[in-house]
Structure 1
Amino acid sequence: MMFSAGLMIGLVILGSLCFVVLVLVYVSWRYVDYLESLMPRSEWVLGNKRNFADAGLPGKLVRFGSISMMLAFSKFSVRKGMANADDIKCFPKYIKIMLVSFLFFTYFVLGALLVANYVSSG
């Protein structure tokens, strides 16, 4: 049975998207409290924890995403008062690299999905 190139690309993008969602849900559910404990003086983290503590899994997803964004754009976050500079400095390097890499991989997959949609419809 022959598969077209478009179908293969679509399957790769769909598989990547499923992978991203599964990892995002697992890491958020399992590790968001630990990640927040690594940033005890950051106002944004404390505020998100207060606001989304009772929101269940969607709240944990928001909290995880905000931590990843703060680490990816740490200078901006510190300058705007969202993150504490000492928290960013003391954050374990290997965890920061994993979170930021996952964030940009997610952006890449979503971008590939948009491009594939544009190419297939045009």
Structure 2
Amino acid sequence: MNAVDPGLIALLILAPIILAMIVQCYIAHRYTERFESFLTNCTFVTGNKKTFQHAGLLGKVMRTGLISMMLAMPTIFLRRGLIDLNEVKRFPPNMRRLLVSMLGIHIVLLIALTIFHYVYR
């Protein structure tokens, strides 16, 4: 039944994870301040900026990841009063697509890694 080597499957999962993290780090380093400039009235974004601004690249990755989560599921944050819905709606569509697709890629790769772990344990 196991005709495919588990190491090959692991490589096919881990290589995209590493590539996705490199891309995420580049996007975070380059564009975090630009993303935040579109969301100045969102208390969620300003609070995260205050919390993670001294954490370097890891802080920028966290801030960018949290912005992408906020853009993917705005109703959760709107109910708690953490975002300004008008700013979220005015967020540039190409940047929104980039952030939400990166979040989706990370989720899919995490699910693939979890399934692989439990199948080949």
Tell me whether the two structures share a fold, i.e. TM-score over 0.5: yes
Q: Once superposed, what is the RMSD of the aligned Cα atoms?
A: 1.4
- Cα displacement (A) at 1:52: 1.3
Gaps of 5+ in 1: none
Residue-by-residue CA offset, 1:33-73 (whole Å, 9 max, x unaligned): 11000111100111111121111112111111110110010
Work out whether 1:15 is the aligned partner of 2:26. no
Structure 2 counterpart of 1:54, which letter?
H
- Cα displacement (A) at 1:75: 1.6
Runs of 4+ aligned structure 1 residues displaced above 2 Å come to: 3-8
Structure 2 counterpart of 1:22, which letter?
I
Work out whether 1:84 is the aligned partner of 2:106. no
Higher relative contact order (CA 8 A, sep 6+): 2
Work out whether 1:100 is the aligned partner of 2:84. no
Give runs of aligned pairs for residues 1-122 of structure 1, distance below 5 A: 4-121=4-121
Percentage identity across paired residues of the two chains: 35
Residue-by-residue CA offset, 1:77-118 (whole Å, 9 max, x unaligned): 122111111111100112112211110110110111111111
Q: Secondary structure at the match of 1:40?
A: coil
- Cα displacement (A) at 1:7: 2.9
Q: Secondary structure at the match of 2:18?
A: helix
What TM-score do you get using the length of structure 1 for normalisation? 0.90
Query: Equivalents in 2 of 1:91, 1:4: separation in Å?
Result: 44
What TM-score do you get using the length of structure 2 for normalisation? 0.91
Gaps of 5+ in 2: none
